[in-house]
Chain A
Amino acid sequence: MAVKEFKKPTLKEYSSIPKLVESATSHLAPFKSKEDFQKSLGYPGELVDNWEEVALDKMGDLLKKYRSLRVYMDSCIQCGACTDKCHYYLGTKDPNNMPVGRQNLMRGVYRKHFTLPGKYFPKLVGAVDLTKEVLDDWYSYYHQCSQCRRCAVFCPIGIDTAEISMAAREIMDSIGVGQKYCNEIIGKVHKIGNNLGLPKPALADTLEGLEEDVEEEIGVDVKFPLDVKGSDVLLVTPSADFFAEPHVDGLIGYAKVFHQAGISWTLSSHASEAANFGMFIGSYDNMKKLALRIREAALDLGVKRIVFGECGHAWRVAYSFLNTLAGPFDFLDSKYPVPQHICEVTHDLINKNVLQFDKTANDGKIITFHDSCNVARASNMGDIMGGQFSLPRDIIKATTNNFYDMDTETIMEKTFCCGGGGGLLTDDLIELRMKGAQPRMEALKRVVEDHGVTHMAAICAICKSQFSKAFQYYGFELDQIISLHQLVGDALIMNKKEL
C-alpha cells in the first residue's frame, strides 16, 4: 500500500475555523497489524467470524469497567462546543474529526444496542448497527485521534474523546483488527524492553559511544551507566533518546545534570523504554504488563528513586497511572515522589543552587516552548497546580536569555497536539500528521515572525520526531526543534569532579 499524495495546507496568519468537508479524510487509515503481532498481545490474529457479537460484548464489558465511557456515551448534549477544538478537524475539515463527530461513531452503536430509544426509534436518535462500514469508519477515525484531550478541556461535561478512542481501539483489537504501528511496538517491548527492539549489547555500545563523545567535547567524564546495581536513581527514558536527533541531546542533558549534582544513576536494559503504547490501544492489561517492567527493574537494581526522561504520554502513564498499575512503591525512598520527572529533578536542583548556568551559551537561540498534550492535560509536576506548565518554563528561563510563549490560546492546557501523538507517529498516516500539525505550526509562525524565535523546545519524544518532519514540511528547519534538556546541558557549568 503506497501512501497517496495530498495537497499541502498553507499556513494562515490567523487560524480560523474551516467549513466542514464530509469524508475529507475517510481514506486515511493506518496499516493493520499482522497476525503474529495480534496474537502476541493476546488478541485474535484476524477478524473473527462473529465479530459484531464479540465487539458488542466487549463494549458492554468496557461500559461496566470504565465509568468515563458509560457517562460520556450518555451525557453528550451535542452542543458543539468541542467541534472546533481538535487539531485534526482544523487541519482536515472532516466532520468525523470533530471530537463529538468522532464520539458519535461509537455513540450511534451504543444507542442502538444499549439504550431503549435507540432500540425502538433508531432514526430519531441516530442509532446505527455495527456494520462493516461502521467498523471501517471506526478504524479510520479512531486512528485519527491522538488522544490529546484538548476537547475534554472545553466540553461542559468534561467528555474526553481520548477515553472513547481508547475503548474503540480495545474493542477492535478484541475482534482481531489492530493497528500495525502500536501493536508491533508493544510486542517489541514485551520481548526486548524497548520500542526500538534495541537489545542490551547494542544499548551498552550506544551509551559508551555517548560517553566518548561528551568527554571529547567538554573534557568531562560524564557517565551513562547501564544496569548498575545500587544506584540511587533509575532513569527511564524513551528509547529515541538513545540515538535519534534531537532526542539524544536531551539525554546528554540529563546525564550532565546527574553528574553535576553528584547523583548516582543508571539506565536499565530491562526497562529501557519510558513509552507505554498500551495506553494508546486502551488496553489495561498491556499497559500494566509494560509498567511492571519498570517495577521489576527498580527492584532488581535496588534503586531509591525512579525518574522519567522527556516523554509526553510516558509521563502521563508514569505520573497518573504507574502507582495504580505497578504500585505500591513503598520500597523506594519516601522522600521523593514516585516517579519523578527529570524536569522536577532539574528544577529542584536549580532552586537549591546546585546547578549553575552560563546562559550566554544559549544566546544563539530564541526559544519558544511547546506544551506536550499529555504532559499539559494529563499530568502534573512539582505537586503544585499548573506545575507542568511552570516548571519547564522556569528551567528554560534559568538556562536562556530569550524566551517567548506562543499565543495563549495554543499553550498550557489549551496546547495543540503536535499531530503525531496517540500512536499515530507512523509514515502510513503522514497526511494526517502533517495536516494535524497545522494549528501548532501557525502559532509557531507567529512567534517566529513577531519575536524572531529560532527554536522550539519540547519534552516529548513523539513531539520531537513529529516536529522534525513537520518543520521541514512547513518550511522551517529540521533542527529548530530541540530537547528542553539540551538547553540545560549546553548552559550547565560543569566542573571537573575532584576525587
Chain B
Amino acid sequence: MSFVTIFYGISFYVATLILFIGLAYRIYEYSIIPAPLKIPTPPAPKTKKGVAIRLFREVVFFESLFSATKWTWLFGWLFHFALLLAAFRHLRYFTDPVWFWVSWEIVQAAGHYAGYMMLFGLLGLLGRRIFVDRVRYISNPSDYLMLILIISIAFTGLLMKWFHTDIYAVKMFFIGLMYFQWSELPSDFVLLLHLSLVLLLMIIFPYSKLLHAPGLFFSPTRNQTDNARDQRHIADWAKRIESKK
C-alpha cells in the first residue's frame, strides 16, 4: 500500500464522517429549534401539499432568485444544475456494478459538458462579486475562496481529459474504501489535486454558508403553511410561559 493510498484513504474516511455527521448534527439542531410564530411570505400556501410544491419550485428552479436578479439566477442555476449532472457522471466511480442509467451515454456526456457549464456559472458569480459594487461590499475572503475552490475542482476535473489517469483504478480505490478492501490509488498529480480539493470542500461544508442547502428546507418563511387563524401554532417554550401565568 503506497503512502498516497493510505493518506487519501484515511482522509476520505475522515472527511466523509465530518460531512455526514456535521450535516446530520446541523439538521438535528435546526429541527429542534421551534419557529414560535407563523411568518410565511407570500404567495403563502394554505396546505402542506402547497408547501411541498413551493419548496420544489425553489429547489429546482430557484424561483425567488429568478424574480430578484436574472444574472445571478442564470449563473447560480447553471452552476447548480451542472453540479447535479457532474454528480450523476461521477456515480460510476461509486457503484459496482454501475447503475444502468449512470452508464447511459447521455448521462456521461452531459456530465462531461456540465464541467464547462459549471465553470461558466462560477466565473459569472465570481465576476459579479468583483464587479458589482454591492456584491463586492458584502464579500468576505471566504466568499471568494469558496468560489475559487469550486472553480478549481471543476477545472482539475476537466483537466483530466488531457492528463489521463487510470480511471478503473480510481474506481477500485473508492469501491475498496466503501467495502473496506483497499486498493491502490494512482498517484497522478491532477487527480490528487482534484481529490484534495474535494476533501477540503467536504470538510468545510457543515461549517460554511454551504449550509444554505439544508437551510432552505428549514426556512420558516418558505416552509410554513398559512393557516394561523385556523390552527393554533405555539412553541413549547411559549407554552411554558403560558402555564406559568
The segment from A258-266, A374-382, A424-432 found at the interface with B is A374-382
What's the Cα separation between A85 and B36 when bound, in Å?
A: 27
Nearest CB of chain B from residue A102's CB, rounded to whole Å: 10
B1 contacts chain A at the CB level, 8 A cutoff: no
Give every chain A residue within 8 A of B134 (Cβ-Cβ).
17, 20, 80, 83-84, 95, 98
What's the Cα separation between A211 and B82 when bound, in Å?
A: 69
Cβ-neighbour of A156 out of B26, B62, B226 (below 8 A): B62
Give every chain B residue within 8 A of A63 (Cβ-Cβ).
33
The segment from B168-176, B192-200, B216-224 found at the interface with A is B216-224
If A82-B68, A116-B207, A319-B229 are given as contacts, then 11 extra A-B residue pairs at C-beta distance below 8 Å, sorted by A number, are A66-B35, A70-B30, A75-B209, A79-B72, A83-B138, A95-B138, A126-B142, A156-B58, A156-B76, A288-B241, A385-B42
B29 contacts chain A at the CB level, 8 A cutoff: yes
B38 contacts chain A at the CB level, 8 A cutoff: yes
Using a CB-CB cutoff of 8 Å, which residues 46-100 of chain A contact chain B? 63-68, 70-72, 74-85, 95, 98, 100
Give every chain A residue within 8 A of B211 (Cβ-Cβ).
74-75
Interface size class of B (residues with CB under 8 A): 35 or more
Determine if A319 and B64 form an interchain contact, defined as CB atoms under 8 angstroms apart: no
A255 contacts chain B at the CB level, 8 A cutoff: no
Give every chain A residue within 8 A of B235 (Cβ-Cβ).
65
What's the Cα separation between A380 and B66 when bound, in Å?
A: 24
Using a CB-CB cutoff of 8 Å, which residues 34-74 of chain B contact chain A? 34-39, 41-46, 58, 62, 64-65, 67-69, 72
Determine if A80 and B43 form an interchain contact, defined as CB atoms under 8 angstroms apart: no
A490 contacts chain B at the CB level, 8 A cutoff: no
B139 contacts chain A at the CB level, 8 A cutoff: yes
Determine if A65 and B34 form an interchain contact, defined as CB atoms under 8 angstroms apart: yes
**What is A's interface to B at a CB cutoff of 8 Å?**
17, 19-20, 63-68, 70-72, 74-85, 95, 98, 100-101, 104, 115-117, 121, 123-126, 149, 152-160, 163, 284-285, 288, 319-321, 323-324, 327-328, 337-339, 376-378, 380, 383, 385-386, 388, 412-413
Using a CB-CB cutoff of 8 Å, which residues 134-155 of chain B contact chain A? 134-135, 137-143, 145
B234 contacts chain A at the CB level, 8 A cutoff: yes
Give every chain A residue within 8 A of B230 (Cβ-Cβ).
337
What's the Cα separation between A80 and B72 when bound, in Å?
A: 8
What's the Cα separation between A68 and B204 when bound, in Å?
A: 23
What's the Cα separation between A160 and B42 when bound, in Å?
A: 12
Determine if B209 and A65 form an interchain contact, defined as CB atoms under 8 angstroms apart: no
Determine if B36 and A66 form an interchain contact, defined as CB atoms under 8 angstroms apart: yes
Q: With A20-B133, A117-B207 known to touch, is A71 a contact of B218 (CB < 8 Å)?
A: yes
Nearest CB of chain B from residue A26's CB, rounded to whole Å: 14
Nearest CB of chain A from residue B218's CB, rounded to whole Å: 5
B128 contacts chain A at the CB level, 8 A cutoff: yes
Nearest CB to that of B58 among chain A residues?
A156
Nearest CB of chain A from residue B195's CB, rounded to whole Å: 23
Determine if B64 and A156 form an interchain contact, defined as CB atoms under 8 angstroms apart: yes
What's the Cα separation between A163 and B76 when bound, in Å?
A: 26
Determine if B233 and A75 form an interchain contact, defined as CB atoms under 8 angstroms apart: no
Give every chain A residue within 8 A of B164 (Cβ-Cβ).
none
Give every chain A residue within 8 A of B234 (Cβ-Cβ).
324
Determine if A65 and B237 form an interchain contact, defined as CB atoms under 8 angstroms apart: yes
Nearest CB of chain A from residue B174's CB, rounded to whole Å: 28
Determine if A413 and B65 form an interchain contact, defined as CB atoms under 8 angstroms apart: no
Q: With A68-B220, A160-B41 known to touch, is A124 a contact of B140 (CB < 8 Å)?
A: yes
What's the Cα separation between A104 and B30 when bound, in Å?
A: 20
Give every chain A residue within 8 A of B38 (Cβ-Cβ).
320-321, 324
Give every chain A residue within 8 A of B125 (Cβ-Cβ).
79
Using a CB-CB cutoff of 8 Å, which residues 221-245 of chain B contact chain A? 221-222, 226, 228-235, 237-238, 241
What's the Cα separation between A321 and B230 when bound, in Å?
A: 12
Determine if B35 and A67 form an interchain contact, defined as CB atoms under 8 angstroms apart: yes
Nearest CB of chain A from residue B20's CB, rounded to whole Å: 17
Nearest CB of chain B from residue A78's CB, rounded to whole Å: 5
Give every chain A residue within 8 A of B64 (Cβ-Cβ).
81, 153-156, 158
Determine if B33 and A64 form an interchain contact, defined as CB atoms under 8 angstroms apart: yes
Q: With A65-B34, A67-B33, A83-B135 known to touch, is A75 a contact of B219 (CB < 8 Å)?
A: yes
Nearest CB to that of B229 among chain A residues?
A337
Nearest CB of chain B from residue A467's CB, rounded to whole Å: 22
Give every chain A residue within 8 A of B219 (Cβ-Cβ).
68, 71-72, 75, 157-159
Give every chain B residue within 8 A of A386 (Cβ-Cβ).
42-43
Determine if B138 and A157 form an interchain contact, defined as CB atoms under 8 angstroms apart: no
Determine if B216 and A157 form an interchain contact, defined as CB atoms under 8 angstroms apart: yes
Chain A CB within 10 A, most for which of B30, B36, B207, B229: B229
Determine if A124 and B72 form an interchain contact, defined as CB atoms under 8 angstroms apart: no
Nearest CB of chain A from residue B55's CB, rounded to whole Å: 10
Give every chain A residue within 8 A of B68 (Cβ-Cβ).
81-82, 85, 154-156
